[in-house]
A and B are shown apart, each in its own frame.
Chain A
Amino acid sequence: MIKAHQINYKHKDFHILDGVDVSLEYGEFLAIVGPNGAGKSSLLSVLADEVRTGKQKVLFKDKPISEWNVKELSKHKAKFSQHNSNDIPLEVKDVVMMGRYPYFDSQPGKEDLEAMNNMMYETDVFHLKDREYNTLSGGEKQRVHLSRVMAQLQNEIAHTLMFLDEPLNNLDIKHQYKALDIIKKFTQKANSAIVVLHDLNLAAQFADKILLMKSGRVSAYGTPQEVFTAENISDAYNFPCTICEHPITNNPMIIFG
């Protein structure tokens, strides 16, 4: 799906990313975790072709991502950004409809309306569809954007890719699980997702692969069982923790302190 080799990204003399390798298969849910300032969002930006790092190339479906046609690419990948605009004087349904912009010229077709409505249901914002976006709470805005990004990838193309930068910010517990469920379902249809997460237990429970970052480098990569060991986590976060088994899912469960 996406391959990047030895990504370096510098701001002045400070290495934000230092020799990071990423490779993702079809149908994989990759969670990027790590302490503040580890370079998680920067890595996501580089992979999504928001910033270009010079020589290194990111290969998306075996073709350098910078060589893709912008419009065509928008049907293959979507990104949920961490800092969503607070000032969009439109109704919620208009914001979600933006996700369908790559698919129609002047007026949305039947599939576009269906995708919009379905995704508003899934993310539990359908009842807000006629409200003005600016009057929503932080968590509701997050869900509107999740809905928009999901609607963007409702198409016939096999293997699409979604980037999500801290999609769970401001969400209550129910909607955190709901959002992860939606992403999980999306990856089970042979699509892939790269998600920056802060909650390690949620990452352990939902992700197929974990990329643990520290100071711009990959400090561990693998399945949750491989990555989430007491040494790895204590070392990355500089904070003590204990690992035990989740009583239901058998995934690792991290208890801090």
Chain B
Amino acid sequence: MRTQSKLYFYLTISAVLLVIIAVLSLNTGVYDFGGNSAFKVLWQFIKGDPNLSLSDKYVVWDVRAARIIMAILIGSMLSVSGTSLQGLFKNPLATGDLIGLTSGATLLAAIAIVLGGHFKEYLPEAVQFSLVGISAFIGSFLSMMLVYRISTSGGKTNVVMMLLTGVAITAIGFSITGFLIYISKDEQLRDLTFWNLGSLAAATWTKNIILGVVLIIAYIILLPKGKAFNAMMLGEKDAQHLGINVERLKKQIIIIVALMVGTCVAFSGTIGFVGLIVPYILRLLFKSNYAFILPLSALCGSILLLTADTFSRSIVAPSELPIGILTALMGGPIFIAILVKFKKAL
């Protein structure tokens, strides 16, 4: 089938591009491997070469490779969560950061960081370690429910209500986070600043494994839903007539998106606009055909975030630019472009 092979063609191209960027990114950085290239060191590490120095191994595997994988996982999930939200709300402006999911997640994560110490000892051990992550998930889930309840009735979304609810949640989150910063201790303060700016610098392989598990679960459920997302454009009743269980689909999207956004926020803080930029570009190429843009956004989100992160850690090296600055720089104009295009509809 022609359109199907077209999809595989674009998926292959994106995957190849992603690998190339990952390779370039691995070789980018200030650390000097004694004249060797980073790949050679990585190869030595994979082979288990005993001559490999500990610091070489640490830089290549625990710093660069971990960070690259984290950028790939988080970029992908942020972008797919944006695309899914846009399918749910039937609007290209719906993304986790604009409708307040990220703020909700950040807020509860901040509460967990600052106040968590006081009640941590009463919680079971497994919960203690993942307290921030679970709080972030609950935060994004509650925000999601709030936005959906307020802005959608009878299957129709009021876009203005959707965005304004996001603004309100962000404002509440901002003020409470500000208060928490005011009362927090030094060490907590550093954590909070990290959350607010967003960074991939704290990447570790443990985090990557958790992210990977969340990603696989989410994608098994979400990625085959391209047809269902398309049918939703007809309206919920007509989608139901096409054999789609609309209520179940909406619940799945809400829970999975909250899970993805919550996990991303817990590990990398607020990295904005990825979920807006990637679907916007894909829509220019494939209209709103979710059978295309849903799987492609999974790969293109990785490409975008990995590129942005490689730039952010190399243009002012040895220092580092917060990655949110770069994504916002790209996302802002796109936000305006969408607004202009939808001026009448809003």
User: What is the minimal beta-carbon distance from B94 to any residue of chain A, in angstroms?
Assistant: 14
Are A101 and B227 also in contact (CB < 8 A) when A70-B243, A71-B243, A91-B287 are?
yes
A246 to B43, CA, bound (A): 88
Segment of A72-80, A178-186, A213-221, A224-232 in the binding face:
A72-80
User: What is the minimal beta-carbon distance from A58 to any residue of chain B, in angstroms?
Assistant: 15
Segment of A6-14, A17-25, A82-90, A195-203 in the binding face:
A82-90
Are B241 and A89 closer than 8 Å at their CB atoms?
no
Asked whether A98 is an interface residue with its Cβ less than 8 Å from the other chain, the reply is yes
Asked whether A250 is an interface residue with its Cβ less than 8 Å from the other chain, the reply is no
Q: Which residue of B90, B227, B228, B238 contacts A79 across the interface (Cβ within 8 Å)? A: B238
Asked whether A39 is an interface residue with its Cβ less than 8 Å from the other chain, the reply is no
Are B289 and A85 closer than 8 Å at their CB atoms?
no
Asked whether B240 is an interface residue with its Cβ less than 8 Å from the other chain, the reply is yes
User: What is the minimal beta-carbon distance from B295 to any residue of chain A, in angstroms?
Assistant: 10
A51 to chain B: closest residue by CB: B237
Chain A residues contacting B238 (CB-CB under 8 Å) are 79, 81, 84-85
Are B288 and A90 closer than 8 Å at their CB atoms?
yes
Chain A residues contacting B242 (CB-CB under 8 Å) are 74, 98-99, 101-102, 152
Please indicate which of the listed interface residues A70, A85, A132 has the most CB atoms of chain B within 10 Å of its own CB.
A70
Are A89 and B287 also in contact (CB < 8 A) when A81-B237, A94-B230, A107-B1 are?
yes
User: What is the minimal beta-carbon distance from B257 to any residue of chain A, in angstroms?
Assistant: 21
Number of interface residues of A (CB under 8 A): 32
Are A85 and B244 also in contact (CB < 8 A) when A91-B287, A94-B289 are?
no
> Chain B: interface secondary structure?
loop
Asked whether A50 is an interface residue with its Cβ less than 8 Å from the other chain, the reply is yes
Are A73 and B243 also in contact (CB < 8 A) when A94-B289, A101-B227 are?
yes
Are B234 and A85 closer than 8 Å at their CB atoms?
yes
Are A48 and B241 closer than 8 Å at their CB atoms?
yes
A13 to B1, CA, bound (A): 54
A106 to chain B: closest residue by CB: B224
A50 to chain B: closest residue by CB: B237
A75 to B243, CA, bound (A): 8
Chain A residues contacting B288 (CB-CB under 8 Å) are 88-90
Are A132 and B287 closer than 8 Å at their CB atoms?
yes
Asked whether B319 is an interface residue with its Cβ less than 8 Å from the other chain, the reply is no
Please indicate which of the listed interface residues A98, A99, A113 has the most CB atoms of chain B within 10 Å of its own CB.
A98
Asked whether A108 is an interface residue with its Cβ less than 8 Å from the other chain, the reply is yes
User: What is the minimal beta-carbon distance from A107 to any residue of chain B, in angstroms?
Assistant: 4
Asked whether A62 is an interface residue with its Cβ less than 8 Å from the other chain, the reply is no
Please indicate which of the listed interface residues B227, B228, B234, B241 has the most CB atoms of chain A within 10 Å of its own CB.
B241
User: What is the minimal beta-carbon distance from B237 to any residue of chain A, in angstroms?
Assistant: 5
Near B by CB (< 8 A), chain A positions 24-50 give 48, 50
Near A by CB (< 8 A), chain B positions 212-254 give 224, 227-228, 230-231, 233-235, 237-238, 240-245
A104 to chain B: closest residue by CB: B227
Chain A residues contacting B283 (CB-CB under 8 Å) are 89
A99 to B241, CA, bound (A): 9
Asked whether B46 is an interface residue with its Cβ less than 8 Å from the other chain, the reply is no
Asked whether A67 is an interface residue with its Cβ less than 8 Å from the other chain, the reply is no
A70 to B288, CA, bound (A): 25
Asked whether B346 is an interface residue with its Cβ less than 8 Å from the other chain, the reply is no
Chain B residues contacting A156 (CB-CB under 8 Å) are none
- Write the B265-298 contact mask toward A (1 if CB under 8 angstroms, else 0): 0000000000000000001000111000000000
Q: Which residue of A83, A105, A108 contacts B224 across the interface (Cβ within 8 Å)? A: A105
Q: A85-B234, A94-B287 are in contact. List 11 more A-B contacts (CB 8 A).
A: A50-B237, A73-B243, A79-B238, A85-B238, A89-B283, A90-B230, A98-B227, A98-B242, A99-B242, A107-B4, A132-B287
- Can you give 7 A-B contacts (C-beta < 8 A)? A79-B237, A81-B237, A88-B234, A90-B289, A91-B287, A94-B289, A107-B1
